Amino acid sequence: VGDRGGTVDPTNLAETPFGQPGVRQVGENEYEVYMVARQFLFQPGTGRPLTLPQGSKITFHITSPDVIHGIQVVGTNLNVMVIPGQVATFETSFPEVGTYGMLCHEYCGPAHHTMEGLIEIVPPSEFNEDMLVQ
């Protein structure tokens, strides 16, 4: 992942798109995910799965407000370091319906081993507006 994602003020994410993390539709079969990795969870993804439509173009934007984290999506080649104030941006697609685990692969504190989440890929016909940030 290069530096095309830019930077944000990690102490003031509320004034950025990361103030409301989630999925946004930006075109036909194109979505953006704004995700925050913080001690010790992914927003969205921990507590409630991040739901995305199968086969769509997905652009992830991920940052952290606190310490260095990582995100690895198990069973894929998605593996990114998340640095406070830096925005990691990358594009991907999930061709198969299924559930993928996410985990933090950079030690981020005493509860690091609990930092995990889920991505649920659903058929496009099951994806709806309730799954988007409003």
pLDDT the model gives residue 73: 96
51-88 residue pLDDT tens = 999 999 999 999 999 999 999 999 999 999 999 999 99
pLDDT higher than 80, residue 134 = no
Percent share of the chain, pLDDT over 70:
97
CA distance 36 to 41: 8
How far is CA 91 from its chain centroid? 11
pLDDT the model gives residue 56: 97
Residue from 104, 52, 112 nearest 83 by CA = 104
69-89: b or e for each residue (b if 16 or more CB lie within 10 Å)?
A: bbbbbeeeebebbbbbebbbb
For 14, the token pair is 């509320």
pLDDT the model gives residue 1: 62
pTM (predicted TM-score): 0.94
For 78, the token pair is 């998605």
